[in-house]
Chains A and B, each alone.
Chain A
Amino acid sequence: MIFNFIFGRRKKQRKHRASALADLQLGESAILGDMELALPVAEHLMNLGFVPGLEVTVARSSPGGDPRVYRVEGIEVAMRRDLSRHIHVELLGAPAFGD
């Protein structure tokens, strides 16, 4: 695509911090923890259903790998890595799949 052609592809940045939503692999699930986000952003996410304590699954990924679609209680929300790496998660014992 012309946009990608002009701007080139961004290098994948991989930070290893297993406790962030961004670090989960596609299909993996975890329990939502605290959000290191500005209050309005965190509240918006909670209004959508992203409430700490609920199970979250990495449902889909855009072809470029960012943003990704996350599922909580059947609700699917897309967000970028710059947001998901500020959302802490607690890993579940075994890989689980929602729905």
Chain B
Amino acid sequence: MTCHAVARPREEALGTSYRTIAVVGPPNSGKTTLFNRLTRLRQKVGNFPGVTVEHHTGYVRDSEGHEVALIDLPGVYSLTPKSEDEKVAVDVLTGQMPGTPHPDAVIVVLNSTNLHSHLVLAGRVIALGLPTLVLLNMADELRKQGGHVDVLSLARQLGTPVALVSATTGEGIVAVQNFLSSATASPEPLELPVVGSTRGYREWAVKVGTNAKYRRPATPVWTQRLDSIFLHRTWGAIIFGVVVVGVFQTIFAIGQPLSNLLQHFLDVSGSQIGNHLPQGMFSSLIVNGVWKGTGSVLVFLPQILLLFLVIGILEDSGYLSRAAVIADRTMSRVGLNGKSFIPLLSAYACAVPAIMATRTIESKRDRIATILIAPFMTCSARLPVYTMVIAAFLPNRPVLGVFLGTRALAMLGLYVLGFLMAVFTARLLKSSILKSKDAPFILEMPPYRWPTLVSLGLRLVDRGKAFLYRAGTVIMLVSLLLWAATNFPMHRGQPPAVQDSVVAWVGHAIEPAIRPLGFDWKIGVGLLTSIAAREVIIATLGTLNGIDPQSHAVDLQAALKHELTPAGAVALLVFFAFAMQCMSTVAVVRRETNGWKWPVLQFGYMTVVAYVAAFAAYNIVGHFIH
């Protein structure tokens, strides 16, 4: 799905007002805050065709009530189309982006506390010849820290309107309204010196800034003070540890129970709905198909929203960059950078919010690599499966007194197994298809700021919507397919027992393929149904054996012991550690990478790894234990 910035055709007759305006600015210029302030909830998220770059289109009204579309372009420092972000910005600004109309005007958002660097971008944009408004953002910080700039002089030199604004306080924002109504007067940009190189542009920018009596503000004292603690040799590491545990606990100890509660509520309401419907296929479709499908989408929301709340606070306050600096040394060992740390940590709770969290990683290659290894982290959906299999096959004996038993040790081993495979995969990727030689780790440290509620709230709405619309549809579709597979063929209008359904046929069909791993067709069916969510295999095995897994867990363990040899059990654990049987993860990877290429590659890779490893485990363990 592509998002069309302006749905209605341009009426040339009117021609007096701007219809599409591109908003461009460097990272850390407060561009998004400004965009949010102007458009609030009137925003749409979309991906430009063929690239992973996401963009927002928002709507504002000019003084005559006409709707104007604002396209928020990715944060860029220059317009040399070297990175994907810059290419997108150039393509949109020159009207070469398919599905996006040629903008009528441009708003350039610059950080007024860093004018010498940011004016370079303004120069390049003005040189394009479109009507341009230059906004010098963060006016409040400029003033507070003793900075100064002569706006009129700057406007004279640039030949465009210039305004000092503050997106956080709303100061000067009226300039945007004035700009929208000034559309009739076509501004003539003054001639800029033709300077090709970055250095030439920079010299030009410094000259313009000096003429405008620009005085750079001092670095905020608080930023200095906080950094002397947060990046302190020992305190920095300790605080980092506390933050990391805090992030993890938030999703694990708060998000998980919330998800469970929501799941419980959805189950109960599902059976309530079922009671009010006549028995039969329709009721089953509604309750077990549609409602369950909706449920499997919704259960992710609490964790996604919580993680984005935490990451939002970390990012907006400026700590996320510091955390990345601290974690970088460790992450560099596997070829990633510090920004991958928090997403990978969140993957221990669930890969879905973790993959969404990778958008804080600026480097595209590092972001893809992080997405590809995240599902190897032992997520919470694997735990019930691990617990059941380990409990069935491994008697609990103390290894280190009361602290560590054999079962806990086995569990720990599985965590380490997933982690090591993630490291191996990261190294593999970064030394082959995702080499990032020309994109080294360079990270700007923004000053510390208070996160604002509006900004946090809008981010949550934005992420929630993106997940529900774009990933939710895929999850829903697969849920319905799985429902159909377990409910057909019908017998006299009644759904069949699982062993007679389509999914059982498929289970039988794949049995020759999974035999070498020590699995029979029942496990095969479990592997298929666990695509909905990993822990579903327990319910499936319960149904196939006629045992309620909740009330008769021990019986199910006994049945499992009948079905699998100890070697087969090890193979099953290994398979679960490595395989990507989670449709939600696949759906969210597709959504975040804007295509099927990466999720298909990832699914294929992880399945092959899981198969080979399970095969090896079955044969090696089978050699020693009979």
B223: nearest residue on chain A (CB-CB)? A76
Give bound CA distance, A40 to B440, whole Å: 10
Chain A nearest CB, measured from B87 CB (Å) = 13
Contact residues in B for A1 (Cβ distance below 8 Å): 241, 330
Q: Is B333 an interface residue (CB 8 A)?
A: yes
Chain B nearest CB, measured from A41 CB (Å) = 6
Q: Is B586 an interface residue (CB 8 A)?
A: no
Chain A nearest CB, measured from B490 CB (Å) = 52
**Segment among A15-23, A46-54, A88-96 that sits at the interface with chain B:** A46-54
**B234 and A63 form a contact (CB under 8 A):** yes
**B330 and A49 form a contact (CB under 8 A):** no
**B329 and A75 form a contact (CB under 8 A):** no
Q: How many B residues touch the partner, as a band?
A: 35 or more
Query: Which of A65, A67, A73, A77 interacts with B116 by CB under 8 Å?
Result: A73
Other than the known A44-B77, A80-B328, what 12 A-B pairs have Cβ atoms closer than 8 Å?
A3-B330, A40-B82, A41-B439, A49-B114, A62-B231, A63-B237, A77-B443, A77-B445, A78-B324, A78-B325, A80-B332, A80-B441
Contact residues in B for A62 (Cβ distance below 8 Å): 231, 236, 325-326, 328-329
Q: Is B216 an interface residue (CB 8 A)?
A: yes
Our count of residue pairs bridging A and B at CB distance below 8 angstroms stands at 129
- Interface SS of A by simple majority: mixed
A65: nearest residue on chain B (CB-CB)? B329
Given A46-B202, A74-B216, A99-B218, does the pair A79, B114 have CB atoms closer than 8 Å? no
Q: Is A31 an interface residue (CB 8 A)?
A: no
Query: Which of B219, B326, B330, B442 interacts with A45 by CB under 8 Å?
Result: B442
Chain B nearest CB, measured from A69 CB (Å) = 6
Chain B contacts to A: CB under 8 angstroms: 26, 77-78, 80, 82, 113-114, 116-117, 120, 198-199, 202, 216-219, 224, 227-228, 231-234, 236-237, 240-241, 321, 324-333, 338, 419, 423, 437-445
Give bound CA distance, A51 to B120, whole Å: 12
Contact residues in A for B332 (Cβ distance below 8 Å): 80
Contact residues in A for B443 (Cβ distance below 8 Å): 67, 77-79
Contact residues in A for B241 (Cβ distance below 8 Å): 1
Number of interface residues of A (CB under 8 A): 40
Give bound CA distance, A15 to B308, whole Å: 42
Q: Is A4 an interface residue (CB 8 A)?
A: yes
Give bound CA distance, A51 to B198, whole Å: 9
Query: Which of A4, A60, A65, A74 interacts with B113 by CB under 8 Å?
Result: A74
**A63 and B236 form a contact (CB under 8 A):** yes
Give bound CA distance, A19 to B441, whole Å: 21
Give bound CA distance, A24 to B152, whole Å: 41
Give bound CA distance, A78 to B233, whole Å: 16
Contact residues in B for A64 (Cβ distance below 8 Å): 326, 329-330
Chain B nearest CB, measured from A60 CB (Å) = 4
**B218 and A43 form a contact (CB under 8 A):** no
Contact residues in B for A45 (Cβ distance below 8 Å): 442
**B233 and A47 form a contact (CB under 8 A):** no
**B325 and A67 form a contact (CB under 8 A):** yes
Given A61-B231, A82-B440, A99-B218, does the pair A76, B329 have CB atoms closer than 8 Å? no
Chain A nearest CB, measured from B228 CB (Å) = 8
